[in-house]
Amino acid sequence: MAEFTNECLDTFLENQDRLFDEPVADTREEAEAFLEDCMAEIADTLDDVRDYLEELGMDVADMSDEELEDASEVFALPDGRYLVVDA
């Protein structure tokens, strides 16, 4: 299971509208519970993001790195890693 830092939780809270029409969490605690429930992952690189999404059955082979980084499921974290939410 991924360890969600405060930066990760804050990034998700600030940007969750990319993935959802309405907020799914209002606090760090709610965000952490939601991310754990949907088995979100932390990826170190875009290649890791690509591999993870392919494992989930998504067709990302033809996506550029920029398109992948802009995908609604992918949240760039301040430390250079990525939060991937399989909602």
Per residue in 1-35, pLDDT (tens digit) is 578 999 999 999 999 999 999 999 999 999 999 99
Angstrom distance (rounded) from CA 17 to CA 20: 5
pLDDT for position 2: 74
Number of domains in the chain: 1
Q: Is residue 47 part of a domain?
A: yes
Q: Is residue 50 part of a domain?
A: yes
Angstrom distance (rounded) from CA 76 to CA 10: 12
Angstrom distance (rounded) from CA 42 to CA 82: 6
Q: Is residue 69 part of a domain?
A: yes
pLDDT for position 1: 58
pTM of the model: 0.91
Q: Is residue 76 part of a domain?
A: yes
pLDDT for position 30: 98
Q: Is residue 18 part of a domain?
A: yes
Please give the residue range of the domain that contains residue 69. 6-84
Q: Is residue 28 part of a domain?
A: yes
Q: Are 20 and 87 in contact (CB under 8 A)?
A: yes
Q: Is residue 1 part of a domain?
A: no
Q: Is residue 49 part of a domain?
A: yes
User: What is the tens place of the pLDDT at every residue in 23-81?
Assistant: 999 999 999 999 999 999 999 999 999 999 999 999 998 999 999 999 999 999 999 99
Buried b / exposed e over 20-43, threshold 16 CB at 10 Å, is eeeebbeeeeebbebbeeeebbbb
Look up residue 39 and give its DSSP letter: T
